[in-house]
Structures are given as C-alpha cells and as structure tokens.
Chain A
Amino acid sequence: DTGVSQDPRHKITKRGQNVTFRCDPISEHNRLYWYRQTLGQGPEFLTYFQNEAQLEKSRLLSDRFSAERPKGSFSTLEIQRTEQGDSAMYLCASSLVGRGTSNTGELFFGEGSRLTVL
C-alpha cells in the first residue's frame, strides 16, 4: 500500500501523559499536513511542512504541541501533558507541489490517529 499511513490508530492515555503520533506520507510527496478533528466538527488545520521545513502553524497548535519532519519524509506530532480537550482524531495528509509538476496539489489523507484522554 503506497498511501498515507498513521500510527497508532488508537491511543488511550491518562491526563498529563505525553503522546506521539507518526505519519508516513506518500513517498514522493514533499508536503505534509496535520489536522485535528473533534466530534461533530470538520478537520481543522494545525501545521504543514514542505520537505523538512515547518512553514505554518495554526493558533490551535499550543506550546504543548510540537511537530517535526526531520528528514523530509515521515513526521511526528507530540502532545505533552495531555488534557481531556486534546481528545480528537489527528489526521495527516500529504501532497506534491512544485514547478514542473502538472498535479493539482491535492491532499491525500491517512486513516487518522484517534486520541482519548481520560
């Protein structure tokens, strides 16, 4: 399967613990996005990377959240000192952009990582 993969699919943790999610994008894609979706809402943008550079962060990304994409391939999203309000589905997407490509910049999503904070 060459789609976007996310791990773990489900994570249950106690309040105050740290959690880390991993996203492996489609192999040739140079952009990677993180979104958060709470129950009954549409996904909300958190941050995105072009190669290894983090180019934009939403105000939703508090200082307890940190995202990395160290080699421009996989990415991790870490949440420190989790709170019950962090319970959500965390979605990762990747795309290919740049000169010389005829693509549309379409985002391709993974299955998401569901976080439950008790």
Chain B
Amino acid sequence: KQEVTQIPAALSVPEGENLVLNCSFTDSAIYNLQWFRQDPGKGLTSLLLIQSSQREQTSGRLNASLDKSSGRSTLYIAASQPGDSATYLCAAYSGGATNKLIFGTGTLLAVQP
C-alpha cells in the first residue's frame, strides 16, 4: 500500500530565502507525482506534475524533482515571498485502473516579511 510522507510538517523562513520541501513514498512503482498548494479553507492549486519518465519539472521559482529509486521528491522554492505562505501537498498517482492520488499530510510554510 502506497504511503506518502512529507517533512517537515511546518516551516518558517524569512523572506528571500531558498527552501526545500521533502516528500517520500513507500512504493517506487508510482505513475506520476504532483505538488499542490492549498491556502487556508481553499481548494487545491496544482503547481507541478512530474511524469514517471521525468526527473524534474520547473515553473518560475519552483522546481520539483523525482527520484523513484529512492522514493523521494523535493520541491525547491527560490527567493521565497510572503505570498508563498500556504500548505504544500505532495501526491503520488497510483497508476493502474484507478489512477487515484495518494496525498501526504502537507508542509505548512510561513514566509516572514
């Protein structure tokens, strides 16, 4: 059974700092992996989708990597801003017939001005 873990659970950094959020999964036979952002009381905003054949994806100040052999993904945020404050969720696609997403519990990020 696939399990997704995110470390740390919470992170507070000063504005301008570069930071890394970590995600690990137990079953390396994942299909794709996706990072989401969630603001308090809101739905999910997709940030980056990494297909199983890819190693990384980039969008603006965000870069996500995927290492299936080690069961890890990282989300790198460059030059953090207060507007980046949110919960970041990592989710692995199960593939197969269902292809459902299995989520971690998230990292709550606070960027201090």
Q: How far is the CB of B38 from chain A (nearest CB, A)?
A: 9
Residue of B nearest to A50 (CB): B97
Task: Decide if A110 is an interface residue (CB 8 Å cutoff).
Answer: yes
Taking CB atoms, residues of chain B closer than 8 Å to A114 are 41
Query: Is A2 located at the chain interface by the 8 A CB criterion?
Result: no
Is there a chain A Cβ closer than 8 Å to B49's Cβ? Answer: yes
Interface-located stretch among A13-21, A41-49, A59-67, A74-82: A41-49
Q: Within 8 Å CB of A110, what residues of B?
A: 43
* B residues in contact with A95, CB < 8 Å: 99
A33 touches B49 (CB 8 A): no
Are B102 and A45 neighbours in the complex by a CB distance under 8 Å? yes
Q: Which B residues are CB-close (under 8 A) to A93?
A: 101
CB A76 to nearest CB in B, in angstroms, measures 18
Interface size class of A (residues with CB under 8 A): 20 to 34
Within the assembled complex, what's the spacing in Å between the Cα atoms of A42 and B42? Answer: 13
Residues of chain A contacted by B51 (CB below 8 angstroms): 104
B44 in contact (CB, < 8 A): yes
| Chain B interface, >50% SS class | strand
> Are A42 and B104 neighbours in the complex by a CB distance under 8 Å?
yes
In this complex, what residue of B is CB-closest to A33? B100
CA gap between A55 and B43 in the complex, in Å:
25
Q: Taking each of A35, A44, A89, A104, which has the highest tally of chain B beta carbons within 10 Å of its own beta carbon?
A: A104
Cα distance A48–B98 in the bound complex, in angstroms: 8
A-B contacts, 23 listed (Cβ < 8 Å): A31-B99, A35-B101, A40-B105, A41-B105, A41-B106, A42-B4, A42-B91, A42-B104, A43-B91, A43-B103, A44-B103, A45-B102, A91-B43, A91-B44, A104-B49, A106-B34, A107-B101, A108-B46, A109-B36, A109-B44, A111-B42, A112-B42, A112-B44
Interface residues of A (CB under 8 A from B): 31, 33, 35, 40-45, 48, 55-56, 89, 91, 93, 95, 97, 104-112, 114
